[in-house]
Amino acid sequence: MNNCLFAFPDRVLPNSYVAPVLTGGSWLTALPLANLQDSSDTRLSTLARSTNVQPASTLIDIDLGTLRDLRVMAILRHNLSLTATIRFQFWTDTARTQLAYDTGTLLVWLPFYPAGSLPWGHPSLWDGKILQEDRDGYQFDFIRALPNQVVVRSVRVEISDTGNSDGYVELARCILAPAWQPPVNFIYGNTVGWESDATISKSLGGRRFINEQAKRRTAACTIEHLDPGIAMSSVMEMQRRLGMSGELIYVHDPTVTSQAEWQRSFLCNLEELSPIENPYFNANTAGFKLLEVL
């Protein structure tokens, strides 16, 4: 297991200093690539949709506007099929002549079921991938991390999903972000789970009526023995910049190879701004409580 990652900000989103430009592919006029840069509160509901599933139509070229440090890549709220692949290429120049890193072809969907956990004859026995019917109603986002941070100007995202039965590729966000990786990992006792806003009422006869609401993932962890300088420049600064409304991608373990394990990595907010503690001489402790963004 490798140390966790806290990835922010999204370098694809424009700000008052830099305005990244997205081009390439063939995307619907009503649902263009510009929708990936929506900065409203409903940004995960604003989609970009390709005109067809040909690889030439589903690529994205991103000019970040200036050199940027990047570590984490994410495609959120996508409709990519179980056979889809994706590739990220990073260049230090806008002409795309100086290649900094190439991920090669990556599977969007990794095996979900552990080896030996399925009965003989199960449809997923050989590839281990989650069934389409089990996937329905639950969004598995594509999130991956580079081995190390890269500093680049241009990025190409090549999506290949010619077998998509929808006849198009659709996504809400394409996130490229730097990441802070603590020098020591969280201690034992970290948690991951679900939070539900469902309301429950009972009739006079005792029957329960449940108003089911969307469920969101939660995670909590504690990192000890942080150098005070790192605690201030990384954790304290993260809290200042994000508050409780800013977004980050939490990556539980950047080296996992299972789709089920990737459930522990997601787009989230800081649920609370936990004080940084000083329990030992010249060492700080930082706690994190994270709540998924829907």
Each residue of 112-122: pLDDT tens digit? Answer: 888 888 899 88
State the pLDDT at residue 127.
86
User: What length does the chain have?
Assistant: 294
State the pLDDT at residue 257.
86
- What band does 99 get if pLDDT is binned at 50, 70 and 90? very high
**pLDDT above 80 for 129:** yes
What does DSSP assign to residue 39? -
Average pLDDT of the residues in 179-196? 93
- What band does 226 get if pLDDT is binned at 50, 70 and 90? very high
Percent of the chain with pLDDT over 90: 74
What is the domain partition of the chain in residue ranges?
11-177, 191-292
Percent of the chain with pLDDT over 70: 98
d(C-alpha 241, C-alpha 66), whole Å? 21
State the pLDDT at residue 42.
62
- Where in the chain does DSSP place strands (E)? 5-7, 21-23, 48-49, 59-76, 85-91, 99-102, 106-107, 142-160, 170-171, 173-177, 179-180, 191-196, 199-202, 208-211, 215-226, 248-251, 266-270, 277-280, 283-292
Average pLDDT of the residues in 234-253? 95
CB-based contact 195:269 (threshold 8 Å): no
d(C-alpha 242, C-alpha 248), whole Å? 8
What architecture is domain 11-177?
A: Sandwich (2.60)
How distant is the alpha carbon of residue 282 from its chain centre?
34
**pLDDT above 90 for 212:** no
Question: How many Cβ atoms are within 10 Å of 188's Cβ, its own excluded?
Answer: 7
Phi–psi pair at 229, nearest 5 degrees:
-65, -40
Its pTM stands at 0.91
Instruction: Tell me if residue 264 falls in helix, strand or coil.
Output: helix
Which residue in the block uniquely carries the two structure tokens 């969004």? Answer: 139
Indicate the average pLDDT of the chain: 92
**Amino acid identity for residue 257 in this structure:** T
Is the preceding omega at residue 9 within 30 degrees of 0, hence cis?
yes
Segment 25-48, tens digit of pLDDT: 999 999 999 999 987 766 788 999
CB-based contact 239:270 (threshold 8 Å): yes
Which residues are registered as beta bridge partners of 268?
248, 292
State the pLDDT at residue 133.
80
Average pLDDT of the residues in 123-137? 81
If you compute the radius of gyration of the chain from its CA atoms, what whole number of angstroms results? 20
- What band does 137 get if pLDDT is binned at 50, 70 and 90? low
Q: Which of 22, 48, 44 is nearest to 35 (CA)?
A: 48
Q: At a CB cut-off of 8 Å and minimum separation 6, what does 46 contact? A: 35, 38, 40, 172
**Cα distance between the two ends of the chain:** 27
- What band does 105 get if pLDDT is binned at 50, 70 and 90? very high
Q: Which long-range contacts (CB under 8 A, 24 or more apart) does 130-134 make?
A: 130/82, 130/259, 132/82
Instruction: Tell me if residue 137 falls in helix, strand or coil.
Output: coil
> Where would I find the H helices in 106-186?
132-135
Indicate if the alpha-carbon torsion angle 9, 13, 19, 20 is positive or negative: positive
- What band does 244 get if pLDDT is binned at 50, 70 and 90? very high
Structure tokens at 46: 């604003």
Segment 14-27, tens digit of pLDDT: 999 999 999 999 99
Segment 154-177, tens digit of pLDDT: 999 999 999 999 999 999 999 999
Average pLDDT of the residues in 288-292? 96
